Structures are given as C-alpha cells and as structure tokens.
Chain A
C-alpha cells in the first residue's frame, strides 16, 4: 500500500465508529488499499460500493443532478459512506450507525484531495 493512501486511510479510521476504510477502483470494484477491522469482508464491500456508486452516479446524471460527490447509505447495523477520489478511485468508509458523518465526510474529502 502506498504511503499516501495508507496515511489517508489511517486518519479516516481514527474517526470514532469507523470500522474500516478503503480506496476502491471505481470501474472494477477491486480494493486498491484498505484498513479494516477484523471480520469486515473488504472484497464484498469494495465490489458492492463500486456498484452502488455506479448506479447512484447514473441516477444523478439522469435526473440532471450532476456529478456524484458523496453517498451515505444508512442501514440498521451500519453506515456506508463513499466519495469519488482522483484517478478513478472511490474512497469508502464503513461505520457504526451513530458515527459522526460530518467528520467522516471531512476526512474522506481530505483523503481524496491528498491523492491529487
């Protein structure tokens, strides 16, 4: 894992309630770099997050909402957050339901910008 990616994921994973974070190839749905708690299936999260980004991005474009900038998916046992990053990557965070989404989003945007 490259040092810049590792540093970004480390910062994001320090947010209370974050169970894991990763950079995912948006086109392929494959993990580029990850920092996950034990028991989190990184391969599954990466594949499904990329599929989600593609669908939501398509819906945003079709409705004239423009380019996708951030996705938050809340479920009973957790929250999935994702944002586009440079070089056709996505930054993805998997967190507890009560996570501070604002702080997560701030760290995700910062992580994405660090890859420019």
Chain B
C-alpha cells in the first residue's frame, strides 16, 4: 500500500496515522475536495470519486447541522460488515481539512477515533501558515486536479 502526498508536510503525520489506526484507505482533502494526501488508492479515478463524495457529505452534514441549530457535527461514522468509514474535519494553519478513513475489522472505530485526534493535532502542528488561496473556480479547478493527480500517481 502506498502513501503519496501533494503537500509534503502532510506525509509524516499521515504515515504515522495509517500505522497506528491500521487504516486501509485515507484521503486528506480540502472542503472543496482537492486532495492533499492519500494512502492506499491505486487508481486516480477511485481517489477523486471518494474525495468528491467525502467533501459533499461533509458539506451536506454541515448544512444539516446549521438547520438544527448546531455549529457543526463532529465525526461521521458508518459501519459496514467488512469496512467502516470515519469522516471528520480538522483545523490547520492551511485552513480546514477533511479526512476520510476507511478501515477494516483488524481495527475498530474507537481506535480510529482515538488516533484521529492525534493525527489532527499533528497536522495542525505541521501545517505551514495559510497562504492566500484563491477561490476554487471552474477555470483553475481542472488544472489543479491535473496537477494533484500527476503528483499522487506520477502521471
């Protein structure tokens, strides 16, 4: 299983988190769905699909939280027969990030949640100060996506 990163500061915390939590797949992304780092994906198309869906789930649950008078929900957890999914956001100097973790029966949601807290703290500590990031526009989204894919999958 490979770990690849677009932004180097995410690598060391991600590798440690994957090992500690025994995660099968992890995506670190912005709320717009731009991938900063990943572990376990072999195909670009799977990664981009998962990132887009993860970002959409976080956006819709955030909207739902607002409707019921909550500032935000914490982590989302879905349990399956063979896999579980943990989806949560964390704050860093580079702005909020979303982390989607897919794990199997060799670990548990308790362990994933526990080590996610450490991962979030490590990302916060490692993140460089926020650079001015323009809005994600249609005209530069494709170029950024292409750059991320090239970095993550060497294409």
- Cβ proximity bits A23-46 to B, threshold 8 Å, 1 near / 0 not: 011011110000000000001101
Contact between B108 and A27, CB atoms less than 8 A apart = yes
Complex-state Cα separation, A30 to B117, whole angstroms: 14
Q: Is the C-beta of A48 less than 8 angstroms from some C-beta in chain B?
A: yes
- Chain B residues 78-111 with CB under 8 Å of chain A are 79, 107-111
Q: How many A-B residue pairs have CB under 8 A?
A: 37
Complex-state Cα separation, A25 to B110, whole angstroms: 9
- Chain A residues 76-110 with CB under 8 Å of chain B are none
- Cβ proximity bits B39-69 to A, threshold 8 Å, 1 near / 0 not: 0000000000000000000000000000000
On chain B, the number of residues with a Cβ less than 8 Å from chain A's Cβ atoms is 9
Main secondary structure of the interface of B (DSSP, over half): helix
Main secondary structure of the interface of A (DSSP, over half): helix
On chain A, the number of residues with a Cβ less than 8 Å from chain B's Cβ atoms is 14
Complex-state Cα separation, A33 to B17, whole angstroms: 27
Q: Is the C-beta of A47 less than 8 angstroms from some C-beta in chain B?
A: yes
Q: Hey, which chain B residues are within 8 Å of A43, CB to CB?
A: 110, 113-114, 117
Complex-state Cα separation, A62 to B114, whole angstroms: 28
Q: Hey, which chain A residues are within 8 Å of B110, CB to CB?
A: 24-25, 28-30, 43, 46-47, 50-51
Q: Hey, which chain B residues are within 8 Å of A30, CB to CB?
A: 108-110, 113
Complex-state Cα separation, A24 to B110, whole angstroms: 10
Complex-state Cα separation, A107 to B107, whole angstroms: 29
- Cβ proximity bits B96-138 to A, threshold 8 Å, 1 near / 0 not: 0000000000011111011001000000000000000000000
Q: Hey, which chain B residues are within 8 Å of A50, CB to CB?
A: 108, 110-111
From the candidates B79, B108, B113, name the one contacting A51 in the complex (CB within 8 A): B108
- Which residue of B has the minimal Cβ distance to A49? B110
Q: B residues touching A (Cβ–Cβ < 8 Å)?
A: 79, 107-111, 113-114, 117
Known: A43-B113, A47-B110. 16 other contacts (CB 8 A): A24-B110, A25-B110, A28-B109, A29-B109, A29-B110, A30-B108, A43-B114, A47-B108, A47-B113, A48-B111, A48-B114, A50-B111, A51-B108, A51-B110, A51-B111, A54-B108
